[in-house]
Amino acid sequence: MRVKQAIKSIDAFPRAEDHLLQKTQSGALVSVVGLAIMALLFLHELRYYLTTYTVHQMSVDLKRGETLPIHINMTFPSLPCDDGNKDEHEDSDQKFQFFDQAAENMIKKVKQALAHGEGCRVYGVLDVQRVAGNFHISVHGLNIYVAQMIFEGSIHVNISHIIHDLSFGPKYPGIHNPLDGTERILHDTSGTFKYYIKV
């Protein structure tokens, strides 16, 4: 009781005495509507405060001397890693090759991997010049002797793949990469997939 009296004593606008007040249904309705409006305004402002807005900004890239990182994360469910050859080619005439093993050492290993249904996951970062170019992940980098020995008796080379991540430049929250999550599955056939991206 003392606490209630203490709180009332600091009220700058003391309430009128009860015998001077007349309670009506319309007054109660106005009070309820007012409280509802205040609650809605509070929730709206709280949502506005907690919401993150993305601002897009474009500018000319003046860093011509620096390289551009390409982040790659792909899975080839039916193509062993020893089969794959990845080469990247730029208009600056630089070329890089990976998975380049001696033919005699890889034929047996690849045949065993194919027989066991092994796949391959390719991931990493390519640092390339900021010029137009392309890169390939294929079996064409094998010499003809190796390819004939590996795929002898095979009608199709299954290059089914899943692109988990293919992005250019530094990563940041909310980035959208158009090829992320792309899945291409081949059934009893060979094929070639080409993707064109303008950065």
Report whether 169 contacts 125 (CB < 8 A): no
Q: Residue 168: its pLDDT value, please?
A: 87
The pLDDT of residue 43 is 96
Q: Going by C-beta distance under 8 Å and a sequence separation of 6 or more, which residues neighbour residue 88? A: 95, 96, 126, 128, 133, 134, 135, 136
- Return the higher-pLDDT residue of 148 and 20: 20
pLDDT of residue 65: 72
The whole-model pTM stands at: 0.54
Q: Does the pLDDT value for residue 13 go beyond 60?
A: yes
> H/E/C letters for each residue in the chain?
CHHHHHHHHCCCCCCCCHHHCCCCHHHHHHHHHHHHHHHHHHHHHHHHHHCCCCCCCCCCCCCCCCEEEEEEEEEECCCCHHHCEEEEEECCCCEEECCCCCHHHHHHHHHHHHHCCCCEEEEEEEEEECCCEEEEEECCCCCHHHHHHHCCCCCCCCCCEEEEEEEECCCCCCCCCCCCCEEECCCCCCCCCCCCCCC
Residue 104: how many CB atoms within 10 A of its CB?
A: 10
Confidence of residue 136 (pLDDT cuts 50, 70, 90): confident
User: What band does 47 get if pLDDT is binned at 50, 70 and 90?
Assistant: very high
Confidence of residue 102 (pLDDT cuts 50, 70, 90): low
Q: What percent of the chain has pLDDT over 70?
A: 66
| pLDDT recorded at residue 114 | 59
Cβ pair 169, 71 in contact under 8 A: no
23 compared with 94, residue with greater pLDDT: 23
Average pLDDT, the chain: 74
Backbone angles phi, psi at 128, to 5 degrees: -120, 160
- For the segment 123-152, the average pLDDT, to the nearest whole number, is 69
Distance, CA of 61 to CA of 130 (rounded, Å): 10
pLDDT at 164: 92
**Mean pLDDT calculated for residue range 64-89:** 73
Residue 149 has pLDDT above 80, yes or no: no
pLDDT of residue 98: 43
Q: Sorting pLDDT into bands at 50, 70 and 90, what band is 32?
A: very high
Please give the residue that has the higher pLDDT: either 39 or 172. 39
- The mean per-residue pLDDT over the stretch 123-132 comes to 85
pLDDT at 155: 52
